[in-house]
Structure 1
Amino acid sequence: MSTVLVTGGSGFVGVHVVLQLMAAGHKVRTTVRRPDRRDDVLAMLREGGAAAPESLSFFTADLTADDGWREAAAGCDYVLHVASPLSTNVPEDESEMIIPARDGTLRVLRSAREAGVRRVVITSSLGAIGYGHLPREKPFDETDWTNLEGADVQPYIKSKTLAERAAWDFIAHEGGGLELSVVNPAGIFGPVLGPDFSGSIEIVKSLLDGAMPAVPRVYFGVVDVRDVADLHLRAMMAPEAKGERFIAVSGETMSILDIGKVLRRELGPRARRVPRFQAPDWLVRLAATRVPLLRAVVPMLGRVRHSSSAKARSVLGWQPRSNDEAILATAESLIRLGLVRS
């Protein structure tokens, strides 16, 4: 089997990618920003059911520095670039998020090219596709790009868009024989393996904790992290994936209120704190003046973005779990690991 480097193995998506690569028999390497994160990754792999990971090795590398990337990529057949700077807060200076995302992606690509890697698969985002546009009924697909001048384009969205643009430009002008595929996930849910998880998971945690008396009128696509990992492996191996983008979204767009309804229906008393009401937009805007976490929500109020995963299904045979299954798996894992209020 192949030798595969996964960047950011301590992250929510990264550790699931590592799990599936190991299960498929690949020799896996992963990067962590600090050597002490190795034990965290091993603990999450055990939680995910992995046996003793003899086929896994660790390298220390950070997206903001050159050190370690050449050594990590040397001898690899494939690189899955999953690592990305992510913050639940809106930074005062958007370059704090944009520069590490863009420059880190280019560091990984240069290292892969110099190492003779066959293909790099990058985890981008639906945020690089469906933002900054006027409302429309037609679903977004892989031919669309986010309009960076749009009012709803937050720094994280801009960072993912500019990083992916930079990757395609690099392949076109400096890539040599290096191949590129890109996965563009919607909101990522699914089983949590440890205390590190994505902002999407934080939504379910907040609902279960009863942190919000009412929820904002926000909508997004849903996909299970296990299916995101599976799509990475398919994009890595399939000849048809060369030079292509693939949206990872399971089904119809959901609101946060819809997610709450799923939790109450499936969890019963365990979802007793989940709010039942949607806050009016004016109240959310008012609260955002005092609660920094809500600032990123305001531009999203009432915006419904439909997107299609038809390409991933038809070209790569991808079959994702349902929205409800992804949301329920999120909640069950948070409860099992004691990460929500008892």
Structure 2
Amino acid sequence: MDGVGKVVCVTGASGYVASWIVKLLLLRGYTVRATVRDPNDQKKTEHLLALDGAKERLKLFKADLLEEGSFEEAINGCSYVIHTATPVSLDAVDPQAELIDPAVKGTLNVLKSCKRSLVNRVVLTSSMAAIIAHDPCPNGTNDVADETTFSDPKFCEKKKLWYALAKTLAENAAWEHARDNEIDLVVMNPGLVIGPVLHASLNFSVGVVVGLINGKDPFNSGQYRFVDVRDVALAHIKAIEDSAASGRYIIDGPVVKLNDDIEKVLREFYPDLCFADEKKNVGMFELDLVTYKVRVEKVKSLGIELTPMETSLRDTVLSLKEKCLV
């Protein structure tokens, strides 16, 4: 139990990835201060309060991304902060208000409280969206995505990739603020996260799997990359436990084909599954999400063994069925 006696704040703790981070922290002996928008909303918090160790070592705090200082109470006295709280939407009506302001201002709000509370290290949940949204290589070869690659805000604006823009601007602001204020910052950049759900509601990425179960191709691309939520959560924790951890960490899986790898797994549960023949769309998914070559050696150096896609997808479906979400 590596975390005995250590206190960690997890923001946005009722979220999909964050809930797994809280679960694993408690299992490793940490005391967790978890921020949520409404601690009295049982639908959002009951799964957290039911976790092993929660009764003894989990406390919920109310905090709002846009309310300056609202994270202060939760962060004060913590050795580490894992900042996952951010809105996720691909069809925002007002991207500035719904995505960009909460992502950027919320991140700075949290970092300011970390500075005042002398937190040892901050781990920020960013995204592959902050890496792959840029003009393709001019010679037509596949891009290589590694930790040195950043999305281009101007490209995001031009293509109306508002979620990618929000994640990019938030991460850029975090790095700048961390440098200016001598904050030890580590950033995680996961791809499309699947795996078992701890709460009885759908988030965006697991909703993609529900779409697949219903015979749809939500990205209209015919191929996907998935990464397991348990691997993503553990990577965040390893980043606070390994003093040598630094910079960014890509967490992503290999390309898998809809009518081959994915269909094979889903047919175990739904033998009559048939995917509709849909035309590839544009807009959000004009961005080529899968042809880039991805390097994950760095996250493996933290001791992360990436879960095979088949296991992740199978466990996702079992979890969705158990929670009556499909």
Pairwise CA distance, 1:213: 8.2
Structure 1 residue 164 corresponds to structure 2 residue 171: yes
Structure 1 residue 320 corresponds to structure 2 residue 306: yes
Q: 1:246 aligns with which of 249, 271, 275?
A: 249
CA-based RMSD of the aligned residues comes to 2.3
Inter-CA distance 65–257: structure 2 relative to 1 (3 Å threshold): farther
The residue that corresponds to 2:119 in the other structure is: 117
Q: Tell me the alpha carbon deviations over residues 216-250 of structure 1, each in whole angstroms, 9 at most, x when there is no partner.
A: 125442110010000000111211113x100011x
Structure 1 residue 14 corresponds to structure 2 residue 18: yes
Counterpart AA for 1:159: A
Counterpart AA for 1:149: K
- Structure 1: how far apart are the matches of 2:261 and 2:219? 10
CA contact (8 A) 2:122 2:185 kept: yes
Counterpart AA for 1:31: T
CA contact (8 A) 2:202 2:325 kept: no
The residue that corresponds to 1:84 in the other structure is: 86
| SS of alignment partner, residue 284 of structure 2 | coil
The residue that corresponds to 1:201 in the other structure is: 206
| SS of alignment partner, residue 168 of structure 2 | helix
Pairwise CA distance, 1:40: 3.2
Structure 1 residue 224 corresponds to structure 2 residue 228: yes
Counterpart AA for 2:124: I
The residue that corresponds to 2:268 in the other structure is: 266
CA contact (8 A) 2:31 2:57 kept: yes
Pairwise CA distance, 1:121: 0.1
- Unaligned regions of 5+ residues in structure 1, if any? 286-294
TM-score (norm 2): 0.89
Q: Tell me the alpha carbon deviations over residues 274-298 of structure 1, each in whole angstroms, 9 at most, x when there is no partner.
A: 43344223xx46xxxxxxxxx534x
Pairs aligned (count): 317
Q: Tell me the alpha carbon deviations over residues 150-176 of structure 1, each in whole angstroms, 9 at most, x when there is no partner.
A: 255610000000000000000111x23
> Which piece of structure 1 moves more, 257-266 or 232-241?
257-266
- Structure 1: how far apart are the matches of 2:255 and 2:110? 33
| SS of alignment partner, residue 269 of structure 2 | helix
Counterpart AA for 1:209: N
| SS of alignment partner, residue 87 of structure 2 | coil
- Structure 2: how far apart are the matches of 1:324 and 1:224? 10
Task: Map 1:57-206; keep pairs closer than 5 Å.
Answer: 57-134=59-136, 136-150=141-155, 152=159, 154-173=161-180, 175-176=181-182, 178-206=183-211
- Structure 2: how far apart are the matches of 1:4 and 1:133? 38
CA contact (8 A) 1:21 1:28 kept: yes
CA contact (8 A) 1:181 1:241 kept: yes
The residue that corresponds to 1:336 in the other structure is: 322
| SS of alignment partner, residue 291 of structure 2 | coil
Q: Tell me the alpha carbon deviations over residues 40-67 of structure 1, each in whole angstroms, 9 at most, x when there is no partner.
A: 3232563xx6255310001100101125
Pairwise CA distance, 1:111: 0.3
> Which piece of structure 1 moves more, 163-172 or 196-205?
196-205
- Structure 1: how far apart are the matches of 2:97 and 2:173? 15
Pairwise CA distance, 1:95: 4.7
Pairwise CA distance, 1:207: 2.1
- Structure 2: how far apart are the matches of 1:121 and 1:33? 20
Pairwise CA distance, 1:260: 4.0
- Structure 2: how far apart are the matches of 1:39 and 1:255? 35
Pairwise CA distance, 1:214: 8.8
- Unaligned regions of 5+ residues in structure 2, if any? none
Counterpart AA for 1:308: R
The residue that corresponds to 1:27 in the other structure is: 31
- Structure 1: how far apart are the matches of 2:251 and 2:222? 19
Counterpart AA for 2:317: A
Pairwise CA distance, 1:339: 0.7
Counterpart AA for 1:6: V
Sequence identity (%): 32
| SS of alignment partner, residue 108 of structure 2 | helix
TM-score (norm 1): 0.85
- Structure 2: how far apart are the matches of 1:8 and 1:82? 6
Pairwise CA distance, 1:137: 2.4
Pairwise CA distance, 1:39: 5.8
Q: Tell me the alpha carbon deviations over residues 110-150 of structure 1, each in whole angstroms, 9 at most, x when there is no partner.
A: 10110111000000001111112315424300011012232
- Structure 2: how far apart are the matches of 1:302 and 1:235? 26
